[in-house]
């Protein structure tokens, strides 16, 4: 059975029979986990196995947002706490090396429990006066610094056998509100966006996956957020930025978007999105999103296959030594 262009969440730490039956019929390409789904390592392994069994695909991607800092779904007591992205800037000339090491260690944690995609790096460039929803999640305050550390994070994840997802393309750093709650509208001129906000995404346009921003850019499309704007996707993401990887939405249940859930998904696909993401595990919402999502075919299927083809086994790691080195460097800084 063909996969549907969907990534879905589930409600708890184990898979309910109703969820398993729905996933079997809906055939999502992948899944995403949140803190509500995270128990012990054994519980997470059992959940990832059950999700893959539900769709009958051992290669089904399972995603998580594991950035460090405020956005860390897996943490103590079973996993280490990692610093926010901004923390790496204090390492001066060693910032990229430390970011790569931190991401490599996170990849080990994820892969051990069956998670093979991390929604990182965050490539948003924070602007003065913007909402702090990005804040210290950003790797720096300049496009160059964000691109450098973002590249290191992506490399560290892939070295551990985990695919990175760069976000939030083409940029969330100027948003004056939290897109989880409201629709941000950015009125910055196109020349400035191209010279600043788009730069890290252009520098990392070779990455396999990206997540769209629920942000309106009035210089491009004053009526629709990037997620649902053919102008932004075609002209900027595929055009100026040059990204030809798998493009997924940010969570369709966020309040930046309005309207019925089927319509939210249909608008994103009509604009050129490859994959719909729905995160909260609400069954009624998931059913509606699934109704608006097509089977994977054509260019989206090619991009999905190309992304999975880059999912290697990872390089070797002396885990105790790497953890000790990372902890000592953080303590010294």
Catalytic residues: 180, 250
Give CA–CA dist 333/329, Å, rounded: 6
Compute how many other C-beta atoms are within 10 angstroms of the C-beta atom of residue 144. Answer: 12
Map residue 246 onto helix, strand or coil.
Answer: strand
Nearest to 174 by CA among 120, 230, 232, 135: 135
Give CA–CA dist 267/117, Å, rounded: 25
Map residue 62 onto helix, strand or coil.
Answer: strand
Nearest to 229 by CA among 193, 273, 196, 262: 273
Give CA–CA dist 215/192, Å, rounded: 16
> Which secondary-structure segment (H or E) carries 95?
helix 95-112
Q: Which two tokens stand for residue 49?
A: 């196995």
Contact 81, 75 (CB under 8 A): yes
Compute how many other C-beta atoms are within 10 angstroms of the C-beta atom of residue 148. Answer: 18
Contact 119, 167 (CB under 8 A): yes
């Amino acid at each position: 059975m063909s996969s549907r262009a969907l990534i879905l969440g589930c409600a708890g730490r184990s898979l309910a029979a109703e969820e398993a039956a729905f996933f079997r019929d809906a055939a999502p390409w992948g899944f995403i986990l949140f803190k509500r789904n995270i128990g012990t390592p054994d519980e997470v392994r059992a959940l990832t196995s059950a999700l893959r069994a539900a769709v009958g695909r051992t290669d089904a991607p399972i995603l998580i947002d594991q950035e460090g800092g405020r956005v860390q779904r897996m943490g103590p007591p079973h996993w280490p706490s990692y610093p926010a992205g901004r923390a790496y800037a204090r390492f001066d000339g060693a910032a990229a090396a430390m970011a790569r090491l931190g991401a490599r260690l996170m990849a080990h944690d994820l892969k051990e429990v069956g998670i093979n995609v991390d929604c990182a790096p965050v490539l948003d460039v924070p602007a003065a006066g913007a909402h702090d929803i990005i804040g210290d999640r950003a790797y720096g305050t300049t496009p160059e610094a964000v691109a450098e550390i973002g590249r290191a994070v992506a490399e560290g994840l892939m070295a551990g056998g985990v695919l990175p997802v760069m976000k939030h393309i083409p940029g969330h750093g100027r948003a004056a509100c939290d897109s989880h709650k409201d629709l941000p509208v950015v009125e910055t001129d196109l020349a400035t966006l191209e010279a600043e906000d788009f730069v890290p995404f252009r520098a990392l346009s070779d990455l396999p996956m990206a997540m769209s921003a629920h942000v309106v850019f009035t210089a491009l499309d004053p009526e629709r957020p990037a997620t649902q704007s053919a102008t932004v996707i075609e002209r900027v993401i595929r055009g100026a930025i040059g990204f030809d990887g798998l493009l997924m939405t940010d969570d369709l249940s966020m309040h930046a978007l309005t309207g019925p859930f089927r319509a939210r998904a249909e608008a994103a696909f009509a604009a050129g999105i490859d994959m719909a993401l729905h995160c909260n595990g609400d069954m009624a919402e998931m059913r509606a999103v699934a109704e608006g999502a097509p089977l994977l075919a054509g260019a989206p299927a090619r991009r999905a296959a190309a992304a999975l083809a880059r999912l290697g086994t990872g390089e070797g790691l002396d885990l105790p030594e790497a953890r000790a080195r990372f902890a000592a460097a953080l303590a010294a800084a």
